[in-house]
């Protein structure tokens, strides 16, 4: 797409390329250009959504280069982010500023990954003698409290379908409600969100 934009620029009287609504803004564009020029940078749970959206916007597919930015970001999501509950939550929290993320099904994949990882943690803790009698799921209860009400609800629903213990889900619901009602502004929740939690 950049080549096309440059070609169109040469054919016009303008001396400036305007990228309207570029995903992630100037910082993400800079990272995308670093990728094009082979300059190393780190793909993280915080920037992968913006980079994936930028790669889609710029049409950085395998048709132009092997392991192009779309493939690299998808590989990070599948091989690193979605294998970690914590990173999946971070990715899901970061996507909300990227409208294109829905196009690539990132939110749904995050929700599924969080539920699957919680279930795996439950299996591991159930087999571990060292963790018997301990509330070993407390850490992920705190983690998913960072989500807004809409995605928290979807995550809890996915956990129930995946087979996460009902008592763990209830404990998570209680914690989430308490955090909201105490006025802990984890994700800038407003009064409407708090009312939804209470009614749930």
Residue where a domain terminates, one of 79, 107, 122: 79
Q: Residue 13: what pLDDT?
A: 56
127 and 183 together in one domain: yes
Q: Is 108 exposed, middle or buried (0-12, 13-18, 19+ CB in 10 A)?
A: middle
pLDDT of residue 160: 96
Which of 46, 79, 112 terminates a domain? The answer is 79
Q: Are residues 122 and 75 in the same domain?
A: no
Cα gap 162→72, rounded to integer Å: 29
Q: Which residue has the higher pLDDT, 122 or 186?
A: 122
Mean pLDDT of 65-85: 95
pLDDT digits (tens, 9 = 90+) for 121-180: 888 876 554 545 455 446 899 999 999 999 999 999 999 999 999 999 999 999 999 887
Please give the pLDDT value at position 117.
95
Structure tokens at 129: 């003698």
Taking only the tens place, the pLDDT of each residue in 61-73 is 888 788 999 999 9
The average confidence (pLDDT) of the chain is 81
Spatial CA neighbour of 48 closest among 75, 68, 66: 75
Burial 62-88 (b: 16+ CB within 10 A, else e): eeeeeebbbebbeebbeeebbeebbbb
pLDDT at 9: 45
Give 54's contacts (C-beta < 8 A, 6+ positions apart): 22, 23, 24, 28, 29, 31, 32, 69
Indicate the pLDDT class of residue 186, thresholds 50, 70 and 90. Answer: very low
For residues 155 and 57, membership in a common domain is answered with no
Alpha-carbon distance of 60 to 68, in angstroms, equals 6
Answer yes or no: are the C-beta atoms of 150 and 111 closer than 8 Å: no
pLDDT exceeds cutoff 80 at 14? no
pLDDT in tens, 99-132: 778 889 999 999 999 999 999 988 887 655 454 5
Instruction: Specify the pLDDT at position 111.
Output: 97
Question: Which residue range is the domain that position 174 belongs to?
Answer: 85-200
pLDDT band for position 184 (cuts 50, 70, 90) = very low
Same structural domain, 100 and 126: yes
Q: Are residues 100 and 141 in the same domain?
A: yes
């Amino acid at each position: 797409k950049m080549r096309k934009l440059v070609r169109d620029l040469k054919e016009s009287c303008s001396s400036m390329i305007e990228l309207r609504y570029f995903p992630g803004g100037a910082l993400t564009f800079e990272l995308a250009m670093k990728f094009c020029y082979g300059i190393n940078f780190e793909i993280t749970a915080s920037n992968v959504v913006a980079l994936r959206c930028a790669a889609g916007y710029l049409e950085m597919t395998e048709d132009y280069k092997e392991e192009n930015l779309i493939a690299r970001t998808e590989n990070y999501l599948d091989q690193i982010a979605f294998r970690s509950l914590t990173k999946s939550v971070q990715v899901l929290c970061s996507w909300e500023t990227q409208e294109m993320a829905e196009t690539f099904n990132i939110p749904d994949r995050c929700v599924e990954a969080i539920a699957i990882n919680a279930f795996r943690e439950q299996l591991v803790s159930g087999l571990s003698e060292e963790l018997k009698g301990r509330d070993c799921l407390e850490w992920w209860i705190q983690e998913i409290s960072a989500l807004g009400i809409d995605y928290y609800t979807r995550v809890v629903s996915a956990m129930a379908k995946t087979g996460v213990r009902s008592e763990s889900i209830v404990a998570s619901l209680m914690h989430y409600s308490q955090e909201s009602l105490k006025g802990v502004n984890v994700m800038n929740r407003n009064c409407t969100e708090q009312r939804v939690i209470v009614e749930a």
